Amino acid sequence: MAVSGSVSASKISLCMIVKDEESFLPACLESARGAADEIVVVDTGSADSTVAIAEKFGARVIERSWQDDFAAARNQALAASSGEWILALDADERLDGKAGSAIREAVGDGDWDIGLLHFVNMNGGRPCGREWLSCRLYRRTPAMRYIGRIHEQMVQGLAETRTRVIDATVYHYGYEPAVFAEKQKRARNARLVELALAEAEAQGPLMRSHYLYHYANLASDQELLRRYEQFASFVRREWPEALPQAPWILAGLAEYARLLNDVGRYADSAKTAGELLGRWGESPMLRYLHARALAAAGDFAAAEAELHAALREPPVISDDHRHYSQDLALVRGRARFLLGLIREKQERLEEAVFLYQAAVEEEPDQDIFRGRLACALARLGRYREAVETLEGSGALVSLPHPPVDCLGFVLGVLVQSVARLAIWGEKLRQAAPDYPPAAAILRRVEQLGPGWRYRMEDFPEMALGLALAEEPGAFEMPQTTRKSSVMPPPNSP
């Protein structure tokens, strides 16, 4: 596809930057056949067949050395293109079969400047529940350019900010664990984000908030909360009256609210969640966070109403909150688990079991869900099912010292089997130094011996999970501070 020297009306230029993308690039360019009139590819030092593949598809390839600056590379692609419209894709993204015609139809209407495409994150070749809207189609202006060393943004030179949601889906494969690890993206991103953060002062508070968000998102464990607190403090200090409508600000504050919930600061979490709901509309995760605070305060009726809102099908998410991806499986799992706890406290055990089972289906790796399900089954006298539930947990079975998020796993002895009593008793013994109630439970189980019938009052420690209105520590939801539950729109190869 030839590139002319002047801008052509209604012509769409696909602009890309790539490096060593031979495994992804053919599918990406094939998917874009009906959507673009020309392809401009900036290659930043590929050592594989990436350049040959791009040329085979008719792309104009510009080779340049990598300079730790994604915006500079994207701007070079812009400068070499000739279309009135710019479509930006990465090699690990693919348009669906209908996207080309939808993009053509939208460009033909032309009464807008920024096109939002629907992104779906893939894992193992299948959608993994993370979806969002991302700005990837722009009307060209002479001053148009990207800024930002990494997670670059098209925030300069746009004629107006008239946006349109286009009925076009893009599948993103770059966050599949094997791909992410192979390309060592995390280490590279951490280095570039720190460089960008040092430079962001000169680019103004909006870009500084952008990099504070990405800096926080690279952290884990307790450092994650500390960095998000730094981000939240900055944006509230810079914009005390009204926050800018930037996707990363919404995403960052939503994640901050979730982290506050994780450490038991339910009122603070609900305050931030309520602010975001009031200004920017519906979000299942924010509804859940509000429900958790209500449950902690003992207002179960109001909590239930919020949980039902969080569990609506299809999910109700405002356009503003669709600009970042939310882990909807995580939200559904926790919402059902919390609703199950409320039902158990109300002695509606069959309903609680159903809800716990649904929570386990959403998040099979959450051992606290299995533990609470096993406890509810035992309360109904369904001992064998309780044991099968526990022994379906890889972590509880395989680890000599399983995490004691919930004491439900001691119900493994309820099969009245001396062998199982020995196995699970040893696990309790291993847990005892770090969790004193485990030692007390083990002594009680050994005193009762095989043949006894389970009674809740024999194990007061196991009732902790029902104490929804207690202070943090009496009951804790699953801890997820090891990772972020929101994901920034991927726009860097």
pLDDT at site 381: 77
Specify the number of domains making up the chain.
3
pLDDT at site 476: 39
Residue 465's closest CA among 322, 327, 315, 295? Answer: 295
pLDDT at site 31: 97
State the average pLDDT for the chain.
Answer: 83
Task: Indicate whether 404 pLDDT > 50.
Answer: no
For 171, 257, 339, 404, the CA distances from 473, given in Å and listed in that order, are 41, 19, 19, 13
Do 296 and 423 share a structural domain? no
| Contact by Cβ (8 Å): 326, 273 | no
Task: Indicate whether 371 pLDDT > 80.
Answer: no
d(CA 420, CA 168): 55
d(CA 220, CA 297): 29
Domain membership flag for residue 428: yes
Do 128 and 28 share a structural domain? yes
d(CA 146, CA 42): 14
Domain final position from 278, 305, 334: 334
Least confident stretch, 59-73, 119-133, 283-297, 398-412: 398-412
pLDDT at site 29: 98
Least confident stretch, 153-167, 195-209, 447-461: 447-461
pLDDT at site 110: 76
pLDDT at site 411: 57
Domain membership flag for residue 475: no
Do 304 and 353 share a structural domain? no
pLDDT tens digits, one per residue of 480-489: 433 455 544 4
pLDDT at site 399: 56
| Contact by Cβ (8 Å): 174, 490 | yes
| Contact by Cβ (8 Å): 341, 468 | yes
pLDDT tens digits, one per residue of 342-365: 998 888 999 999 999 999 999 887
Least confident stretch, 22-36, 38-52, 264-278, 420-434: 420-434
Do 211 and 261 share a structural domain? yes
Task: Indicate whether 432 pLDDT > 70.
Answer: no
Do 97 and 53 share a structural domain? yes
pLDDT at site 7: 58
Do 195 and 50 share a structural domain? no
Task: Indicate whether 296 pLDDT > 80.
Answer: yes
pLDDT at site 282: 97
pLDDT at site 424: 67
pLDDT at site 471: 36
Do 390 and 314 share a structural domain? no
pLDDT at site 466: 44
Do 265 and 362 share a structural domain? no
Average pLDDT, integer, range 29-41: 96
Task: Indicate whether 66 pLDDT > 90.
Answer: yes
Do 155 and 277 share a structural domain? no
pLDDT at site 4: 41
Q: Which range marks the domain in which residue 371 is found?
A: 335-466
- Give percent above pLDDT 90 in the chain: 52
pLDDT at site 256: 96
- CATH number, domain of 12, equals 3.90.550.10
Domain membership flag for residue 347: yes
For 374, 426, 458, 462, the CA distances from 441, given in Å and listed in that order, are 16, 12, 9, 9
Task: Indicate whether 304 pLDDT > 90.
Answer: yes
Q: Are strands 38-43 and 8-18 parallel, antiparallel or unpaired?
A: parallel
DSSP secondary-structure letter at 157? S
Chain position carrying tokens 């966070």: 289
| Contact by Cβ (8 Å): 118, 171 | no
Do 452 and 354 share a structural domain? yes
Q: Print the SS3 string covering 269-289.
A: HHHHHHHHHHHHCCCHHHHHH
Domain membership flag for residue 2: no
pLDDT at site 111: 87
Domain membership flag for residue 98: yes
Do 367 and 409 share a structural domain? yes
Domain final position from 334, 361, 392: 334
- CATH number, domain of 368, equals 1.25.40.10
Task: Indicate whether 475 pLDDT > 50.
Answer: no
Domain membership flag for residue 346: yes
Q: What are phi and psi of 151, to 5 degrees?
A: 50, 45
Phi-psi region of 124 (alpha: psi -120 to 50; beta: other; left: phi over 0): left
Confidence of residue 117 (pLDDT cuts 50, 70, 90): very high
Task: Indicate whether 478 pLDDT > 70.
Answer: no
pTM listed for this prediction = 0.83
Diameter over CA atoms, the chain: 88
pLDDT at site 182: 54
Do 248 and 191 share a structural domain? yes
Confidence of residue 184 (pLDDT cuts 50, 70, 90): low
Average pLDDT, integer, range 114-119: 94
Domain membership flag for residue 493: no
